[in-house]
Amino acid sequence: MKTVAEVLELLAAEQVAYVDIRFTDPRGTLHHVTLDVDLVDEDFFEEGLMFDGSSIAGWKSIDQSDMKLMPDPSSAYLDPFYAEKTLCLHCSVAEPDTGEPYSRDPRGTAVKAEAWLKASGIGDVAWFGPEAEFFLFDDVRFSVTPQKVAYQVDAVSAAWNTDTSYDMGNQGHRAPFKGGYVPVNPVDDGQDIRSEMLSTLKRIGIKVDKHHHEVATCQHELGTIFGGLVEQADNLQKLKYVIHNVAHAYGKTATFMPKPIKGDNGSGMHVNMSIWKNGKPLFSGDKYADLSQEALWFIGGILRHAKALNALTNPSTNSYKRLVPGFEAPVLRAYSARNRSGAVRIPWTESPKAKRVEARFPDPSANPYLAFSALLMAGLDGIRNKIDPGPASDKDLYDLPPEELAGIPTVCGSLREALDELENDMDFLLAGDVFTRDQLEAYIRLKRGEVEAFEQTPHPIEYAMYFSC
């Protein structure tokens, strides 16, 4: 963790030319403003940087546009891509007149979530370990115009190119649909690019562990080590930034869309979580799968509020093309040790310190500050209200008889449903003023606009099904 003094020392020692001020909007998009290094001193960290909040969707109106970016020195890292040496700082957003945190700022929400955990007396720190999957393509084209709605993706390594004629010949080694999990090269042709992604993450201060090809054709995953809620939300933004830019340097393009390919597995973002108190793991105990009672209540809270959580953990219309049975996507609100077909899994571990729960339904289109905060708030609500998750489901949930399967509740089937659920079940998020009603209502309005755009646009499959009716 860096102090202001350490950051200023780093600027001088590394002869940094520019400082990049970065912040995240409600949708999870990263924005930046670049300052000459001569403008950055102790006063800058105290006073922040003014910017136009009305230009960010879901934030201020034009008559109240002035807002202030407050850089966090602990987030500092040297940008690995810019030609001029540049130090990056992630920021929270404040009101310019009062200096109070802006209620709709996602990063500020994550800061408040960590503070609420401590204030609740339940724990001192919440550890998060997200696992964001992504796809790599060589060519992506799409069009959304009145007379043409279409997309096309391609990659030399894609399963559909086994019979494509190339000038240099077709070598044939490719990961098949739903069959690409951890093969070696030459079937896995992403080794070098993933290694560079991982080493770049390590250079900017992120603790890393592994990388591999995932189940779908052209699908990949990088592994990072767990950390605190705000830290890991910052790190996920850094991870996406690194993946996009390393891919770009290789002449490829990366996407965190949950379901970019029809008929193959989508990209999830499994989120591992644990709480510690007084230096001890709160989730370790003598209940099911060596969990504590608090851990079971935490699971109960997540399952109880899963549909409202979907609006924040699965916030795109595309998310619900992944959340369908049969593709390893956990649509059923159940929990189990090791069973990967439920919404919550308890990973196997020998160490009590590693005891954790894993939410499997989130995806990487989520704003990490909002998604992680909401998951923590749902779990804390479960502990505070002693919400029983019911018995564990240790069977293959996708192989159950229809009558038994019908008795297991599911997550949402569309973004419209998820927003309705959040509208009706947001009180657990308002505890401790972590989220505010105004913030959530503004978020719902923003996302309803996406739903309407999606629902009002003719789809190519509709031409296939209905054009000749």
Average pLDDT, rounded, for the chain? 95
Asked if 87 and 7 touch (Cβ cutoff 8 Å), the reply is yes
What integer pLDDT is reported at residue 68 of this predicted model?
95
What integer pLDDT is reported at residue 318 of this predicted model?
98
For residue 403, indicate whether it is catalytic: no
Residue 238 annotated in ligand binding? no
For residue 328, name the pLDDT band (cuts at 50, 70, 90): low
For residue 423, indicate whether it is catalytic: no
Rg (CA), the chain: 23
Options 25, 72, 105, 131, the catalytic residue: 131
What integer pLDDT is reported at residue 404 of this predicted model?
80
**What percent of the chain has pLDDT above 90?**
90
What integer pLDDT is reported at residue 62 of this predicted model?
66
> What pTM was estimated for this model as a whole?
0.96
Query: Does residue 83 surpass a pLDDT of 90?
Result: yes
What integer pLDDT is reported at residue 40 of this predicted model?
97
For residue 1, name the pLDDT band (cuts at 50, 70, 90): low
What integer pLDDT is reported at residue 402 of this predicted model?
79
Residue 322 annotated in ligand binding? yes
Residues 32 and 25: their CA atoms lie apart, in Å, by: 11
Options 214, 231, 264, 381, the catalytic residue: 214
Options 72, 105, 133, 264, the catalytic residue: 133
Residue 133 annotated in ligand binding? yes
Query: Mean of the pLDDT values across residues 453-459?
Result: 96
For residue 404, indicate whether it is catalytic: no
Asked if 78 and 14 touch (Cβ cutoff 8 Å), the reply is yes
Q: What is the pLDDT of residues 231-286, one digit of tens each?
A: 999 999 999 999 999 999 999 999 999 999 999 999 999 999 999 999 999 999 99
What integer pLDDT is reported at residue 2 of this predicted model?
83
For residue 385, name the pLDDT band (cuts at 50, 70, 90): very high
Residue type, 220: H
Contacting residues for 344 by C-beta, under 8 A, at least 6 apart: 299, 302, 303, 334, 335, 336, 357, 358, 359, 360, 389
Residues 43 and 46: their CA atoms lie apart, in Å, by: 5
Options 188, 231, 234, 358, the catalytic residue: 358
For residue 52, indicate whether it is catalytic: yes
Contacting residues for 53 by C-beta, under 8 A, at least 6 apart: 59, 60, 64, 65, 66, 67, 93, 102
Residues 315 and 366: their CA atoms lie apart, in Å, by: 6
Options 14, 42, 46, 52, the catalytic residue: 52
Query: Does residue 300 surpass a pLDDT of 70?
Result: yes
Residue 450 annotated in ligand binding? no
Residue 350 annotated in ligand binding? no
Options 360, 363, 381, 416, the catalytic residue: 360
Residues 341 and 361: their CA atoms lie apart, in Å, by: 10
Q: What is the pLDDT of residues 406-415, one digit of tens each?
A: 788 999 999 9
Residues 204 and 37: their CA atoms lie apart, in Å, by: 19
For residue 397, name the pLDDT band (cuts at 50, 70, 90): confident
Residue 328 annotated in ligand binding? yes
Options 105, 114, 188, 221, the catalytic residue: 221
What integer pLDDT is reported at residue 135 of this predicted model?
98
Burial class (CB in 10 A: 0-12, 13-18, 19+), 431: middle
Query: Mean of the pLDDT values across residues 166-188?
Result: 93
Options 31, 32, 212, 340, the catalytic residue: 340
Options 174, 270, 333, 416, the catalytic residue: 270
The domains found in the chain, sorted by start residue, are 4-102 (3.10.20.70), 125-466 (3.30.590.10)
For residue 214, indicate whether it is catalytic: yes
What integer pLDDT is reported at residue 149 of this predicted model?
95
Residue 360 annotated in ligand binding? yes
Query: Does residue 326 surpass a pLDDT of 60?
Result: no
Q: What is the pLDDT of residues 61-81, one digit of tens each?
A: 766 778 999 999 999 999 999
For residue 304, indicate whether it is catalytic: no
For residue 133, indicate whether it is catalytic: yes
For residue 462, indicate whether it is catalytic: no
For residue 294, indicate whether it is catalytic: no
Query: Does residue 327 surpass a pLDDT of 80?
Result: no
Residue 452 annotated in ligand binding? no
The C-alpha angle with vertex 354 and arms to 226 and 363, in degrees rounded to 5, equals 45
For residue 53, name the pLDDT band (cuts at 50, 70, 90): confident
Residue 197 DSSP SS3? helix
Of residues 454, 214, 459, 445, the one with CA closest to residue 318: 454
Structure tokens at 349: 């571990």
Residue 143 DSSP SS3? strand
How many residues belong to the chain? 469
Alpha-helix residue ranges (DSSP H) falling in 305-396: 306-313, 319-322, 368-384
For residue 395, name the pLDDT band (cuts at 50, 70, 90): confident
